Structure 1
Amino acid sequence: MLKIIIPTLMLIPTTWLINKKWSWTAATCHSLMIATVSLSLLKWELETGWSTSNTYLAMDPLSTPLLILSCWLLPLMLMASQNHLSQEPINRQRLYITLLILLQILVNLTFASTETILFFIMFEATLIPTLIIITRWGNQLERLNAGKYFMFYTLAGSLPLLVAILALQKDAGTLYIPLLQNNIQNMPMSWGDKMWWTGCLLAFMVKMPLYGLHLWLPKAHVEAPIAGSMVLAAVLLKLGGYGMMRMMSMLSPMTKELAYPFIALALWGVIMTGSTCLRQTDLKAMIAYSSVSHMGLVAAGILIQTPWAFTGAIILMIAHGLVSSAMFCLANTNYERTHNRTLILTRGMQMILPLMGAWWFITNLANLALPPTPNLMGEIMIMISVFNWSHWSIIITGLGTLITASYSLYMFLMTQRGPTPNHITGIIPSHTREHLLISMHLIPMALLMLKPEIMWGWHM
C-alpha cells in the first residue's frame, strides 16, 4: 500500500520544483508508473480476507480493484486537462495538478482505511480538492452555485453518518472494520435503531447518488472542468458504493425491512433519469444523468445484499468508472473544438473526425451494456438478483435497459451523424494524445472481459 501512497505524495514536490516545460510530462509519466505498480496488488495469494500494511491501512478484494481504478485515472486526468489549461500561468497549472494528486491520495486512503472514523475523515476530505477544482476551473458562470449544491448535499448527508459512527463505537466498543464485519448484533428494532440505520447509509446514498438525492450531480458535472468530471464520475461516485458495501455487513439484520423504500427509489431512478437523458440538450448533463441511472442499479444491488448482487455491483462500478470517464473525455474533445455542448449545434462530427466517431460508437455501445463488456456482466447479475427479490422488478429493469439503449443511440446520432453545420467545418483535427486517452480507458475494459474474477470482490 505504501508503495503507492509515498510516490504519490512525492509527486507534489516534483510538480512544484521541476522545470515548467516538463511539469505536465513529468507528472503524467510519474503517475503512470504509480498506476503500473498498483496493478501488482491484483495478485491475491492470502487466505485471509485482508492484506494489512499497518494498523490503519489494509486492502481486501473489495477495495483493491477500486483503488487501482483511482490510480489509473490520475495520468488520464492529467492527459485530458493539458490542452484546457495550456493558456494559464504556470503556478495555476501546478496548483491544478497538485489538487488532482491530493484527491488521489485521499481517495486511496479512503479505500484502504481499516478504522471507520479514518474512513469518514478521508471520505469527507475528498470534498475539498473537488470543490476547488469545480469552483476555480469550471467552465460557466454557474460554477459557484454548482459548488454550493455539491458541498451542502454532501455535508447534509454526512453529519448523520458521523453521529451513527459514534453510536456504533459506543455499542460495539470498536471501529475496526475487519472486526465489525463479524460483529452482527441481533438487536430489537427500536426507532433509534432505524434512525441509526438510515444515518449510516444516507451519506453514501447522497454520494452515489440515489435518485432523489442526485440534484447536485448534473450541476457539478456540467460546471466542472474535464478532470473534475472524470474524477466525479469514475471515482467519487464509487466511494458511495464502497461505503455502502462496507457498512452493509454491520447492518444486516435490519436491512431486510428497511431497504424496501430505497430499493424502490433506486429502481424508479433508473427509469426517471434515463427518461431525463432522452430530453437533454446539453451533452455533459446527459452523460451525468446516465451516471445516476447506472448507479441506481448499483444501489439496488448493494441493498439486496446477496453475493451475486454484490459482485454485480462491484463489476458495474468499475466498468461504469472507465466508460463514463471515457464519455466525458469525448464530450470534452468536442467542447474544446466547438466551444459548445448543445447537441443540436455540434452534430455531424463523424464527417470531420472519423476516428473520433469510431471511439464515440464503441464507448456508446459499452455504455448501453453490449455483450461482452463488463457493463453487461454487472447489469445482468444485478438484474437477476433483483428479479429473485421480486419478480415484478423485471418490468422496471427491462424498461431501464430499453431507455438506456435509446438515449445512448440518441447521443451517438446527435453528435456524430446528420448534416455538419457550417460553423464547425474548420475545426482542428484530433491529437494523438486524445486517441491515447480514450484507448487507455477502453483497453483496460476490454482486458477485464478476459479475466473478470480480478474485480468481482469477496463473495465468489
Structure 2
Amino acid sequence: MLKMIIPMVLLLPTIALCKSKQLWPTALTHSFWIALLSLQWFKPPMELMTFSNYYLAVDQISAPFLILSCWLTPMMIMAGQNNLITEPTSRKLTNLTSTSFFNMELIMFFIAFESTLLPTLVIITRWGGQMERLNAGTYFLFYTLIGSLPLLVALLSTQTYSTLSIYMLQLSDYYKTNPWACTMWWLALFTAFMIKMPLYGLHLWLPKAHVEAPVAGSMILAAVLLKLGGYGIIRMTMTLAPPLKFLSYPFMMLALWGVIMTGFICLCQMDLKSLIAYSSVSHMGLVIAATLTKTEWACTGAITLMIAHGLTSSMLFCLANTNYERTNSRTLILARNMQLLLPLMGLWWFSASLANMALPPTINLMGELTIIVSLFNWSDTTILMTGLGTLMTAAYTLYMLITTQWGETPSHTKTISPTHTREHLLMMLHILPMMLLMMKPELIQAT
C-alpha cells in the first residue's frame, strides 16, 4: 500500500517544484505512473486482504474505487489542459487525491471525507467560467457541512463508549443496549452519505456544481465524490443493521422515485452538462435503493454500477467539453449535427450513450440488471419503478444523442476546429477499462 501512498503524497511537491512550462507534462507523467501502479490491486480476493496497520487497509470493496480514482487523475489533467494553460500557476497546484477509501477507522474516514470539500470548492469557484459559480460553490459548501455536522457529533459521542473501527464496530454491545442512540447514530450517518450521493430531494447542489465547474471538476465530482457516499453506505450496511427496519423505507422510496423524476427532468433540459448531472442523480438512486436491501447480490450490483457510471459519466462530461470548446455554448440546440463535422467524435458519443443506456454487453447492464433483480426479490412492486426508470434513462439518452449528433447544422458551427489526438486518447482511456470489465467483470466483485 505504501507503494501507492508515497507517490500520491509526492505528487504535490513534484508539481510545486517544477517550472511552469513543465507543469502539465510532469503532472501527467507522474499521475500515469500512479494509475499503472494502482492496477496491482486487481488480485484474487484472498491475496487482497492485506492490512498495513489498524487504520489503513485495502479490500475487495475499496480496491475498485481506489483504482477508479487513480485512473481518472491523468485523464482529468488531459481534459483540463486548456484550463491549465490559461490559469496562473497558483491555481494549477490544486490537487484532489482522496484517501477516504483507504481508511478503516471512522474518524479518519470522516476527516478524509471532509477534506475533499476544500479542493473541490476551489475548483468550482476559481476555475468556473461564469459568475454563477459562486452560487454553486455556496450550495455545495452548505449542503456538505449541514449533512456532516450531525455525523461528527454522532462519531464523537460514540467514541466515548465504543470502538470506531469499521471491522470491530459490529461486535460492540453499545448499540444493542442503547437503541435510541443507535437510531440517531444511524440517521446522522446515512444523511451525510445520502447528501454526498446525492439522494433525490437532497440533490440541488449537484446540477449547479456540475454546470459551473470546469471539465476536471465535473469528472471528479461524478466519478469519485459521488462514489464516496455509496462507499460509505455499503460499508455501514454491511457493518450495522438499522435499529428499526422501517427506517430505511423512506430513503428507498425517495431513491426509486428520484430515478423516475430525474428522468423527466433530463427530458426538459437544454443545458448539456445539466442533463448529464441529473442523469447521475438517477443512476445513484438505483445504487442507494440496492445498498439498503443489505444483500450481497445488491451490494455487488451497486459497486458494479458505480464503477461503470464513474467511467461513463466522466466520458460524457469530456465529450460535452469538446463541444463547448468549439461552440462556446452548452445549449443543446446550438451544437447540432456534430457527427457531420466531427465524425470520429460522433462514434465516441454513440459508444458513451450506449453505455449510459446500459445496453448489452456493457458493464452498466450487469450492474443495473443485478440491482433490479435484487430489488425485485426484496419487493415485487419495485419492478414498476425500476422498469419505468430504465425506460426514462433510454429516452433522455437518445434525446441527448439525437439532438447533438443530428439535425440542421447551425451556421456558427460550420468552421469549428478539428479534434485533437489528445481528445481521442482521452476517450480511449475511458473505453478500455469498460471493455476490460465487460470481459472480466469479477475484477470488481465484492464477494
When normalised by structure 1's length, the TM-score is 0.94
C-alpha separation in 2, matches of 1:229 and 1:65:
20
Partner of 1:205: 194
Partner of 1:57: 56
Q: 1:185-223: CA deviations, max 9, x gaps?
A: 773785443222111111000000000000000000000
Q: 1:38-85: CA deviations, max 9, x gaps?
A: 1011113536x7321223211110001100100001000000000233
C-alpha separation in 2, matches of 1:112 and 1:205:
20
- Answer whether contact 1:184 1:252 (CA < 8 A) is retained: no
Partner of 2:144: 154
C-alpha separation in 1, matches of 2:177 and 2:103:
30
Partner of 1:120: 110
Are 2:294 and 1:309 aligned?
Answer: no
C-alpha separation in 1, matches of 2:100 and 2:71:
16
Partner of 2:410: 421
Q: 1:302-328: CA deviations, max 9, x gaps?
A: 111111100000000000000000000
* Matched residue SS, 2:176: coil
Q: 1:108-157: CA deviations, max 9, x gaps?
A: x2100121100001100100000011000012110011000001001111
Partner of 1:15: 15
User: Percent of aligned positions with the same letter in both sequences?
Assistant: 61
Are 2:371 and 1:382 aligned?
Answer: yes
- Answer whether contact 1:146 1:216 (CA < 8 A) is retained: yes
C-alpha separation in 2, matches of 1:17 and 1:167:
43
Partner of 1:250: 239
- Answer whether contact 2:324 2:330 (CA < 8 A) is retained: yes
Are 2:399 and 1:404 aligned?
Answer: no
- Answer whether contact 1:204 1:244 (CA < 8 A) is retained: yes
- Answer whether contact 1:184 1:251 (CA < 8 A) is retained: no
Greater CA deviation, 184-193 or 346-355? 184-193
Q: 1:345-392: CA deviations, max 9, x gaps?
A: 111111100000110000001001011111111101111111111111
Partner of 1:289: 278
Q: Which letter maps to 1:140?
A: Q
Q: Which letter maps to 1:38?
A: S
C-alpha separation in 1, matches of 2:17 and 2:348:
37
Partner of 1:99: 94
Are 2:173 and 1:215 aligned?
Answer: no
Q: Which letter maps to 1:125?
A: S
Partner of 2:158: 168
C-alpha separation in 2, matches of 1:129 and 1:186:
35
Partner of 1:75: 74
Q: 1:256-296: CA deviations, max 9, x gaps?
A: 32111110110000000111000101000000000000000
Q: 1:164-193: CA deviations, max 9, x gaps?
A: 22233234x211112124447773785443
How far did 1:254 drift?
2.3
- Answer whether contact 2:166 2:239 (CA < 8 A) is retained: no
Partner of 2:337: 348
Query: Pick from 345, 360, 366: which aligns with 1:371?
Result: 360
C-alpha separation in 2, matches of 1:328 and 1:195:
38
Q: 1:395-442: CA deviations, max 9, x gaps?
A: 110000000000000000111111110111111000000000011011
How far did 1:16 drift?
2.3
Partner of 1:278: 267
Q: Which letter maps to 1:16?
A: A
- Answer whether contact 1:137 1:224 (CA < 8 A) is retained: yes
Q: How does 1:227-266 map to 2 (within 5 A)?
A: 227-254=216-243, 256-266=245-255
- Answer whether contact 1:186 1:253 (CA < 8 A) is retained: no
Partner of 2:24: 24
Partner of 1:39: 39
Greater CA deviation, 37-46 or 413-422? 37-46
How far did 1:249 drift?
2.8
What is the aligned residue count?
447
- Answer whether contact 1:183 1:250 (CA < 8 A) is retained: no
* Matched residue SS, 2:243: helix
* Matched residue SS, 1:271: helix
Partner of 2:346: 357
The gaps in structure 1 that reach 5 residues or longer are: none
When normalised by structure 2's length, the TM-score is 0.97
How far did 1:7 drift?
1.0
The gaps in structure 2 that reach 5 residues or longer are: none
Are 2:134 and 1:134 aligned?
Answer: no
C-alpha separation in 2, matches of 1:245 and 1:401:
23
C-alpha separation in 2, matches of 1:130 and 1:319:
22
C-alpha separation in 1, matches of 2:170 and 2:58:
14
Greater CA deviation, 249-258 or 214-223? 249-258
C-alpha separation in 1, matches of 2:352 and 2:199:
24
* Matched residue SS, 1:249: helix
Q: How does 1:298-337 map to 2 (within 5 A)?
A: 298-337=287-326
- Answer whether contact 1:31 1:74 (CA < 8 A) is retained: yes
Cα RMSD for the two superposed structures:
1.6
